[in-house]
């Protein structure tokens, strides 16, 4: 069984310690960024790192290196040599941009290299840098990228192929990504209001996270989950949420967990009009109104490719500290009987479901369990 041995991350709230402390105090912090729209440059809210990470090859690699180092520093050289790495991200491949600029503009021209590059090059370079075993993979399924990376990592460990896998979730500000979300009219102008009648969209954010999974005994176990591709079109599922119901029910089935034994649900809850109503309808179809559920995006933003691993790492940190965080910015429920947590709830163990419902009708539900310390 795959267990989570270590987590390390940075978010808009700071490093791991700062992030968890801010969430405990119910704080969040947003900046603003410019996106390129038909009407010109538009300023939108954005959850930005405290210390800027340049959206460049070197800027991104530096922060990944720091986070991965923290997550694996307890491994011996021999253990590192048995460690695979899977990155989940939706960021632009800057290696391609570099090749495009070298090809198209004389003033940016560089000598030809014999080195192959791709969006997985970060993973390969990290593997080489830290003496990992060379198995690298980068999954790009938008909002479910790093959740799917966790699922695949647990498969690799459970099948006995690798004793350790580092899962990295990565998202930094990108004009293209933010402009795309703006063009799709998915961005809120004020705040993320999960499952609220006044919700008007999501707000993107930055996050870099590393989870070290392994077969050693720890309190946190990845029981498994389910992932599928099922939607009415490329950007949404049905309002009834049946596609989400399927993925959540199959996650329960794959892990042989009864829904009554789910201690709490970490929802995807982007705050967009369509996603939240579909997820709420799915929750109503599976769980009774007593289900404890919460949303983390109001604290750190929607970190897209990183949110799968980052929201798990944050949730784990909160439960290790003895509570499930409340949902911020929720006042008027879209379902009067089903309301997210409105105050932090004392909790230090249990079985938890984590939902991720993304672009491209890519849906993932994971189930983790924490035993008593």
Residues that bind other proteins (CB under 8 A): 36-38, 90, 92-93, 95-104, 112-121, 123-124, 133-142, 148, 152, 155-156, 158-159, 161-162, 175-176, 179-180, 183-184, 224, 226-231, 234-235, 246, 254, 358-362
- Tell me whether residue 98 or residue 320 sits nearer to other proteins (CB atom): 98
Measuring CA to CA, how many Å separate 315 from each of 100, 224, 323, 354? 40, 17, 9, 10
| Length, in residues, of the chain | 373
Nearest distance, CB of residue 117 and other proteins, angstroms = 5
Please identify, using beta-carbon distances, which residue of 224 and 301 lies nearer to other proteins.
Answer: 224
- Measured from the CB atom, the residue of 15 and 242 that comes closer to other proteins is 242
| Least distance between other proteins and beta carbon 229 (Å) | 3
CB of 143 to other proteins, least distance (A): 10
Tell me how far, at minimum, the Cβ of 74 lies from other proteins, in Å. Answer: 23
CB nearer other proteins, residue 149 or residue 262 = 149
Whole-number minimum distance, CB 148 to other proteins, in Å? 6
Smallest distance, other proteins to C-beta of residue 129, A: 14
Rounded least distance, CB 200 to other proteins, Å? 19
What is the spatial distance between Cα 368 and Cα 224, in angstroms, rounded to a whole number? 7
Q: Which is nearer to other proteins, 234 or 373 (CB)?
A: 234
In the complex, minimum distance from the CB of residue 249 to other proteins, in angstroms, rounded to a whole number: 13
Select 177 or 192, whichever has its Cβ closest to other proteins. 177
- 233 vs 336 by CB, closer to other proteins: 233
Q: Which is nearer to other proteins, 82 or 198 (CB)?
A: 82
Closest CA to 209 of 299, 311, 94: 311
């Amino acid at each position: 069984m795959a267990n989570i041995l270590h987590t390390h991350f940075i978010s808009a709230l700071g490093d791991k310690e700062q992030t968890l402390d801010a969430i405990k105090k119910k704080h969040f912090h947003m900046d603003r960024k410019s996106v390129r729209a038909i009407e010109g440059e538009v300023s939108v809210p954005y959850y930005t790192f405290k210390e800027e990470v340049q959206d460049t090859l070197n800027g991104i690699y530096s922060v990944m290196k720091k986070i991965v180092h923290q997550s694996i520093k307890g491994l011996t050289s021999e253990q590192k040599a048995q460690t695979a790495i899977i990155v989940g991200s939706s960021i632009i491949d800057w290696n391609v941009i570099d090749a495009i600029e070298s090809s198209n503009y004389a003033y940016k021209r560089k000598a030809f290299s014999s080195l192959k590059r791709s969006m997985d090059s970060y993973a390969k370079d990290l593997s080489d840098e830290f003496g990992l075993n060379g198995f690298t993979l980068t999954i790009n399924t938008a909002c479910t990228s790093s959740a799917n990376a966790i699922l695949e990592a647990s498969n690799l460990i459970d099948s006995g192929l690798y004793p350790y896998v580092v899962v990295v979730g990565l998202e930094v500000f990108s004009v293209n990504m933010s402009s795309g979300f703006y063009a799709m009219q998915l961005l809120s102008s004020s705040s993320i209001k999960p499952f609220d009648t006044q919700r008007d969209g999501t707000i993107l954010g930055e996050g870099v996270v590393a989870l070290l999974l392994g077969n050693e005994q720890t309190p946190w176990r990845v029981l498994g989950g389910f992932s599928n591709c099922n939607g009415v079109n490329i950007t949404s599922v049905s309002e009834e949420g049946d596609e989400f119901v399927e993925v959540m029910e199959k996650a329960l089935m794959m892990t042989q967990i009864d829904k009554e034994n789910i201690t709490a649900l970490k929802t995807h809850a982007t705050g967009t009009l369509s996603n939240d109503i579909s997820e709420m309808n799915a929750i109503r179809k599976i769980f009774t109104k007593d289900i404890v559920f919460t949303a983390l995006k109001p604290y750190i933003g929607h970190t897209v490719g990183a949110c799968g691993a980052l929201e798990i790492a944050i949730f784990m940190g909160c439960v290790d500290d003895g509570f499930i965080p409340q949902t911020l910015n929720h006042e008027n429920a879209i379902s009067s009987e089903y309301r997210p947590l409105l105050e932090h709830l004392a909790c230090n163990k249990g079985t938890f479901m984590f939902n991720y419902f993304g672009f491209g009708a890519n849906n993932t539900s994971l189930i983790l369990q924490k035993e008593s310390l």
